Structure 1
Amino acid sequence: MQSIMIVLFGILGMLFGWFVYSKFIATKIFKMDDDFVTPAHELNDGVDYVPTNKVVLWGHHFTSVAGAAPIVGPAIAVYWGWVPAVLWVVIGTIFFAGVHDMGALWASARHKGKSMGALSESVIGKRTRSLFMIVVFLVLLMVNAVFGVVIANSFVANPNAVFPAWAAIVVALVIGQLLKRKVPLVPLCLVGVVILYATIYAGSGMPIALPSELFGLTDKASWILILFVYAAVASLLPVWMLLQPRDFINGMQLLVGLVLLYGAVFVVMPDITAPAFNTQTAIDTPSIIPLLFVTIACGAVSGFHGIVSSGTSSKQLNKETDGRFVGYLGAVGEGSLALITLVAVSGVMLAVSPEEWHEIYSHLGAGSVGAFIQGGSNLISTGWGLPAEIASTLLAVMVVLFAGTTMDSGVRLQRYIIQEWGDIYKLPILKNGIIATFVAVGCCLLLAFGAGGASGSGGMIIWPLFGSTNQVLASLTLLVISVYLIKLGRPAKFTLLPMIFVILMAFFAGLIKLGEYYEKGNWLLVGLDIIVLVVSVLVMLEAWSVVSKLKNTPQSAPDSKESSI
């Protein structure tokens, strides 16, 4: 089968999602209102709460939620076969991720930009808030600690990506200053993208590497420290100075990358060599159900998106109706990246025969990012005539920049959570932005070096929990949105049905993983997994109690436009 059929199926499905389904949800269910005063205007402080052009905000949201996950997940999950992976990405984007991201953005904006954890208190109750925040903090801790390792590994493996990755920060700082001075967005965007790609071209012939050992640390560990110092500083800067322009430029860079990849598919029309359903899996391969639905999270639906939607994006929303463009279209962009990743790791550009493909994908977890870079660079090189080294550097930089923007936003979000704790538990010291940032980064470094030793890879120890924990968080976010809709007297089935599916898959995946951790004697993961499973059950019971009470209580103002309930 030619890969162009997969691409056409995905594009048509996502076009339906954007033009039909998202419009229905935004206007008929969420009832987004241009006259509603968003937190960006009501609480404008010039640092975190800043009214932002919807295209710029889309760039921030898109690149923050994307990271490396919509590449890593699909590039691993294709092991079970490309058909189930493609179906989950396309259906998940349309009916799960888009509604989840847009809904979290809308609900947070209606509650003064509160995070989903803090918002759960207003919608469900105090006990739910405490339980919710445990899961949120765990997810952010995993993401920040692991993405530091991912970027460090990429810098060590691809030294050509170092110069363009850091140059992008300088470009973003300059663009942020110019935008503040009302320089038109379009020419800035064009110039910024041209400069970024010029640095990629320069970086392909200018590798930069740290000493293999520096002050007793390996080059990878040194990069992890440098990255967290940078993330700490970046998280304290006003969003207009670095976060917005960097994410926007990275978003434009990804669009160019997607055009190159999708365009190459239409030029080359490569065949698929991966099996539609893999019947030659290794003996110890876990069942596709439920593991597929937690392996591909970003690109189908992801709890981390709810943290971003309700953490940074909702505080920058200029008009409530912009939430559809930012939230749903951000999910479509990520789904598009996941889809082209599946094409890159399934076709002849990675392996010219089914036998060679099975050699690369000898077990679950093989291939991954390396397969995407290899298959994608071969596709771009063949389709557009670019030198293979430049194409490879381009995709490596894409992975690094995405992981970097997610790490930037992740540390800022962790700071928000800690500041909310200070407010909730009456601890003024935690409400201080600098102290909250030090606590956030300190927790990440403690995990990285405390659990991982001098290598700084401690985050990888608890990373196996990310898939199920992240999807539990997605289901909890959908649950909060659903209860809020019920309180407003509106239909909740469009969020409740996805929530039920996701929580079932995540819960059973957590149980399967719990058995694996127990057999291996990994008591840390056993304990954390039990905590996540118990928390998810308790939140569900609490929500059921609230919904049951609501059904027996007449709603006096079912379509009220109050900012909070």
Structure 2
Amino acid sequence: MEREATPRLLMKLSIQLHLAGLSLSNTVSILDVFGVSRARSTIHNWVHKAELQPESGKTPDHVAVDETVIRLDDERYWLYAAVDPESNELLHTKLETTRNTALAHGFFAELRQKHHVDDATFLIDGATPLHEAGRRHGLDFRDEQHGNRNAVERVFVRENDAPPRSRTVSVTPIQQLPTSGCDRSPSHGICVSEHYRRIKEQRLIQSFRYILGEFTMVQAIWLVAFVLTTFTVAYLGYSRYLAQFVEIDDENETPAHKYNDGQEYVPSSKPVLLGHHYSSIAGGAPIVGPITAGVVWGWVPAFLWVAIGNPLFGSVHDFMALSSSMRHEGKSIGYIIGQYVGERGKDMILWFAFLTIILVVAVFALVVSVVFNAYPQAATASLIYIALALTFGVYLYQLDLPFLPGTVAFVAAVFAGIWVGLQFPFALVPGDYPAGTIVLLSSTPLPPVLDSANIAMWIPVVMIYGFIASVLPVWILLQPRDFLTSSLLYAGVGGVLLAVILGTVLGVGNTLEIELPAYAGFWGGALVDTRLPLFPLLFVTIACGTISGFHSLVSSGTTAKQLDKESDARTIGYGGMLGEGLLATVALICVSVYATAPASGGIALALPNFATGGGEILNATSGALGVAIPQTAAAAFMGLVLVSFLLTSTDTAVRLGRYMLEEIVGTPETSTQKVATNRYVTSALQVIPAYILVSSGRWADLWPLFGGANQTLAALALLVATVWLANWSDSKQLLSTGLPMAAMFVVTTTALLYLALYQNLYQKFILGQWGEAGPTLLAQGSTVVQIVIALVLVWLALSLAYMGLTNIRAARETGTVAADGGEPSDD
């Protein structure tokens, strides 16, 4: 009986795997996965006879193009494939270590060189890199989720009974993979040992089993259901208890009414103030942190820390910071601690907060600049909504026109600005942008940041914006802009959550399946090349979304000065933090359903996954509803959602830093003190050092410092709340704030000591693990600064903890308490 012929594509797969260094025996095992049994000698003959790439010179009428990621557990590669859907012939394949528009552009360039495809119609599923690359090549393409585009899938799986779980299962020329021995790949320059090759053989088998759908996938709807349940129970139950616990009473006069000056103390309606507060706290960290943690340790640890930690730690922290400030004339947490432990404690926490603010400004300005570079459409839309915010402020506060009609008109104008951004993208200097991008300058005198001249130019622009916005009265820009920004946030976060729910009901299959590992191990999985302990670094990596010290500065710095009624504190403080937890969940869902190879730094992870993944979810669900939102437009919208609150957080941070320095100086008496408290000087004192920090573009240095400082500040804010309660009344229990405070002190001090003593001192100075650049003077100086800052933060935190606990013990022993939750009485 004559044996059935081996499918041509499986022959090519075997050839390519063997050339990658896979043994003949293990290549046979791969074929067995596909239900094809062949001898080692047969594969050996194939290798010597077959071509590595499809023959050239084809002239197809249609070309189906797609991409997918192959997980090797210790490595990840993106596979690009082009197929003639009419003949099912493979036209071109390519393997890359990541996925972006530049690589997709190169793939199309190679395809056009090999075949006559300029007149063909390209079938693309709407993935942003392929979509943008096709547009730049001037190709005739159309989005197609099914139909002929699935020819890519049919070519590789038609001999297999099980349908693919991936969007496509494409095969690539493995000559680009590292070969056996110490031969170096021309594209990667990697030397692979025999031991490493044996590991890779096992991972390849696991990868193909995954592609064939042998692993059960978790739907994103379960994450949404769990987090909505826990957050709803917490808000209806625990937040109500906390409001009663601190004796919230609308009969009390808030600082906004008591000190109304039209500048800083301005009573605001709850929706407007909630929009400002939410926009201010929801910066880039609740996106970057959960995504980074999910990739390193798996989605389960990251998700559980957000879903459970947020209502018990972060929301309590925000509400108590806001309530304590409200009862202390709208003053900062530094002022409050000074009322109980003295001026030394006040100055220590204020300087701690001021240094943290500089890190916040540096990090957020860098993230905004990267977003503008990646999505020039968001830059245009952002300029439009800032102009709209200025106009809205005049409409509300100067012309005193009706709120509701103005809200409808200006929110609609913000979304119209997104359309304008899609039509007229904007960049500062030339670069790799979508077709039709308007470029303002021909060059820049600044050195590149993250290998981009455009990012280098945007950083000072963003910081200048933060400087100007921070010195303006809150009614001119801050309040109206944040209210408009909140409409984008609600639409983006709510839209993705709703899309997940509707998509599940409508059966939008693989789009909503979680592709990240559930748990990648205590030291991190194979998706990262560094061993990182889950404890304590998970709790510093997710610097927002669960708990954030920066929120205490917002709550006790600007929000407390604008509360119209005391009862608003529950919705804005506790509810606002739950809203950021939803944002963190959305970010984690986006990376989980659209997992791509990690790049260096949290920014590179956040941008392609949050915007592109969120855009894909919106595109798939809206398509199932029959009103498909183009994936490119949906991704641009999610990019604008990201940048809108980043801008808000940047100028809010500068304003808060101004308050910190003013409180440190106190009432200015000398000419030097008057200069130091000048709003322009205090803003400049933050922006200038922040620019110096960020101009190097070393995200890996900035993020740990920000995370460690931010989370330590959260522990200090909880300490302030606990001290306030202890001095208020002997009847006030201290567990609600004391337990989270103790946990955060343990986590943050351990993390900072790990970063300082092990990751920097031991690994770099003792073991000499300096990376590719080596121990340059700049690298050594930067490492020394990081070690010093981390140790200073630990010293400040422990000193303040000792002072606070001493005061608590004295208050409970002597009974010297505050009569009304404010300053201690003199009796």
TM-score range, shorter chain: over 0.9
SS in 2 for 1:240: coil
- In structure 2, what is the equivalent of residue 561 of structure 1? 820
What is the aligned counterpart of 1:275 among 517, 528, 535? 517
**8 Å contact kept, 1:214–1:222:** no
- In structure 2, what is the equivalent of residue 35 of structure 1? 251
1:285 equivalent in alignment to 2:501: no
What is the aligned counterpart of 2:615 among 367, 377, 380? 377
Residue 481 of structure 1, CA deviation: 0.4
Change (3 A) 1:486 1:427: farther
- In structure 2, what is the equivalent of residue 535 of structure 1? 796
- In structure 1, what is the equivalent of residue 742 of structure 2? 500
- In structure 1, what is the equivalent of residue 585 of structure 2? 339
What is the aligned counterpart of 1:18 among 206, 219, 235? 235
- In structure 1, what is the equivalent of residue 370 of structure 2? 153
Instruction: Percent identity, please.
Output: 35
What is the aligned counterpart of 2:333 among 112, 116, 134? 116
Change (3 A) 1:428 1:480: farther
- In structure 1, what is the equivalent of residue 708 of structure 2? 468
SS in 2 for 1:277: coil
Counterpart Cα distance in 2 of 1:383 and 1:430: 58
* Aligned residue identity for 2:605: G
**8 Å contact kept, 2:371–2:607:** no
Counterpart Cα distance in 1 of 2:412 and 2:291: 29
- In structure 1, what is the equivalent of residue 719 of structure 2? 479
**8 Å contact kept, 1:161–1:397:** yes
**8 Å contact kept, 1:422–1:430:** yes
Q: 8-17 vs 155-164, which deviates more?
A: 155-164
- In structure 2, what is the equivalent of residue 435 of structure 1? 678
- In structure 2, what is the equivalent of residue 546 of structure 1? 807
The superposition leaves residues 91-124 of structure 1 with CA deviations (integer Å, 9 ceiling, x where unpaired) of 1221111111111111111111111122210133
* Aligned residue identity for 1:480: V
**8 Å contact kept, 1:41–1:318:** yes
1:186 equivalent in alignment to 2:404: yes
Higher relative strand content: 2
Residue 50 of structure 1, CA deviation: 0.3
- In structure 1, what is the equivalent of residue 352 of structure 2? 135
TM-align CA RMSD: 2.1
Counterpart Cα distance in 2 of 1:219 and 1:481: 43
Residue 183 of structure 1, CA deviation: 2.8
Counterpart Cα distance in 2 of 1:215 and 1:277: 45
- In structure 1, what is the equivalent of residue 567 of structure 2? 321
Extract unaligned runs of 5+ from structure 2. Answer: 1-217, 431-441, 447-452, 505-511, 623-627, 765-779
1:368 equivalent in alignment to 2:609: no
- In structure 1, what is the equivalent of residue 548 of structure 2? 302
- In structure 2, what is the equivalent of residue 174 of structure 1? 391
**8 Å contact kept, 2:725–2:821:** no
Structure 1 or 2, whichever has the larger Rg, is 2
Q: 416-425 vs 386-395, which deviates more?
A: 416-425
Counterpart Cα distance in 1 of 2:814 and 2:674: 37
TM-score w.r.t. the length of structure 1 is 0.93
Counterpart Cα distance in 2 of 1:203 and 1:415: 33
Q: 277-286 vs 455-464, which deviates more?
A: 455-464
Say how many residue pairs are matched.
550
Counterpart Cα distance in 2 of 1:380 and 1:428: 57
Change (3 A) 1:274 1:427: farther
Counterpart Cα distance in 2 of 1:501 and 1:146: 26
- In structure 1, what is the equivalent of residue 198 of structure 2? none
Change (3 A) 1:362 1:215: closer
**8 Å contact kept, 2:350–2:664:** no
Counterpart Cα distance in 1 of 2:545 and 2:487: 18
Residue 242 of structure 1, CA deviation: 0.8
Extract unaligned runs of 5+ from structure 1. Answer: 352-356
* Aligned residue identity for 1:24: Y
- In structure 2, what is the equivalent of residue 59 of structure 1? 275
Higher relative helix content: 1
Residue 204 of structure 1, CA deviation: 1.1
**8 Å contact kept, 1:146–1:457:** no
Residue 444 of structure 1, CA deviation: 2.6
Q: 124-133 vs 416-425, which deviates more?
A: 416-425
- In structure 1, what is the equivalent of residue 24 of structure 2? none
Counterpart Cα distance in 2 of 1:456 and 1:214: 19
**8 Å contact kept, 1:70–1:337:** yes
The superposition leaves residues 119-151 of structure 1 with CA deviations (integer Å, 9 ceiling, x where unpaired) of 210133222112212220121001112211111
Change (3 A) 1:458 1:367: closer
Residue 461 of structure 1, CA deviation: 4.1
Residue 40 of structure 1, CA deviation: 0.7
Q: 138-147 vs 472-481, which deviates more?
A: 138-147
SS in 2 for 1:297: coil
The superposition leaves residues 440-481 of structure 1 with CA deviations (integer Å, 9 ceiling, x where unpaired) of 3344323423x56xx464787443211111111001000010
Change (3 A) 1:459 1:262: closer
Counterpart Cα distance in 2 of 1:68 and 1:427: 39
Residue 173 of structure 1, CA deviation: 1.1
Counterpart Cα distance in 1 of 2:558 and 2:671: 22
**8 Å contact kept, 2:723–2:808:** yes
Misfit runs of 4+, over 6 Å: none
1:510 equivalent in alignment to 2:745: no
Change (3 A) 1:208 1:297: same
